[in-house]
Amino acid sequence: HLYSLRILSSAQTNDLLNMGDAISDVELAYKLYAREEAGVFPVIVHHFESGKREMDLKSGHLAGAGVFGMKMLGFCSENPQRGLAPLAGLIVVMDVDKQQPIGILDGTPITFMRTGAAGAVAARALARKDSKRVLIAGAGNQGRAQLLGLATAMPALEEIYICDIIDENSCRFVNEQNGKFPNLQLKAVPYAELAEIAGQVDIIVTCTRSREFFISKEWIKAGTHINAIGADMPGKQEIEPELMANVRLFGDSRAQVIQKGECQHAAKSGRISADDITEIGEVLEGMKPGRRSEDDITLFDATGMAIQDLIVSAKLLEKAKQLNIGLEVEF
C-alpha cells in the first residue's frame, strides 16, 4: 500500500485534547515561526452567499516539527434551524519527510483549544507576574476557551469577571463554569459596569464578534495586559484605536494583525505601523523584549494561524497512535 492515515472522530479528539498540551504546542508553533522554521500561506475565503455560506482554507507548515497541512472550514448560518452546527471543518496533517498524509481530524475542538491556548501563552509571557484579576469580555464559546487557557497557564489568578453585551449570557456563563475552577472566583458583571471593572483588573480579554470598539483608552490603568482575540478579519473591532497607539503591541503574525487583526484600524488611520508590532514568538525566543516595566500596558493581537491547528493536531495524532485510538485507513 502507499500509506496509512489515522482518522479521529470529534469525540476521540475531545478525549485526547487537553489545554496543558495545547499551550505547550502553541508556544512551540510561535517559536518555530519566529525562527522561520514554520510559515503560513495566504488564507482562501469564498462566499457562496454573503453572510450565509462561506468556505475558508487555512494552510501552513512547521518544517521544524516535520509537518504541514491545512484546515478546511465551512460556515452556514441556516444550519442551527436544521439542528446542525453552523461551523464544520477538517484538519489534514501531512508529513514533511515522506510528503504523505498522517491523519484527519475534526477542526472544531482543535480550533477552540488552540485559540484558548494562544491567549494563555501571550498572557503568561506579557502580563505582570503578580496578576490576580481578569476581565473576559464576551461570554460565548471563545470566552470559555480563554478562561480554560488562563486558568491552566496562570494558576495564581484569583478572580475572573465575565461581561457580555447581553447580561443574561454572563450569568449563564458563570453558572455553567463555576464548579470547574475551584481556585477561581467567577463573577458576572453587568454591561453597564464594564468601564469600572476594566480599570480594576490586571488582564483584559476581548473575545466578541464586535464591529465597533467597546474598550476605551481612558479606562485602562498602567500595568494592564490586554488580549485582543475577537478581531480576526477586516471590519471587526473591540479596542479604541487611540489606545492601540499608546500601548506596547504584540501579535501572532505581524503581517496578519495589521491586515485583519485589532491593529487594522489604528494602522489605517496612521496611528501605528508594522514596525510597532513585536511577534509573540520573538518574545518567547528571547529575540525581543516583552514587558519592560510594571507600568507598561501590553496588548496581544491574536488573528489565528494554521500552524497552531497543525501542531496541536500533529501531537494529538502521535498520542492517538501510541494509544491506538481512531480509525487507521490504508490507501
- Active-site residue 58, yes or no? no
What is the DSSP code string of 69-94? EEEEEEEETTGGGGTS-SEEEEEEEE
Task: Pick the catalytic residue from 71, 236, 260, 315.
Answer: 71
Q: Is 146 exposed, middle or buried (0-12, 13-18, 19+ CB in 10 A)?
A: buried
Element (H, E) at 60: strand 53-62
Say which residues have a Cβ less than 8 Å from residue 124's Cβ, sequence separation at least 6: 153, 154
CB-CB contact of 5 with 103 (8 Å): yes
Identify the residue whose cell numbers are 471587526: 236
Provide the 8-state DSSP code for 287.
S
The three-class DSSP label of residue 104 is strand
- Copy the grid coordinates of residue 1: 500500500
Say whether 175 sits in a helix, a strand or coil: helix
**H-only helix segments in the chain:** 10-16, 19-34, 107-126, 141-153, 167-177, 194-198, 241-244, 254-260, 263-268, 280-284, 306-323
Burial class (CB in 10 A: 0-12, 13-18, 19+), 46: exposed
Residues 226 and 206: beta-carbon distance below 8 Å: yes
What is the C-alpha separation between 314 and 96, in angstroms, rounded? 12
The rounded distance, in Å, linking the Cα atoms of 150 and 186 is: 13
Answer whether 286's CB lies under 8 Å from 278's CB: no
Facing residues of 160 across strands? Answer: 134, 186
Which residues are known to be catalytic?
A: 71
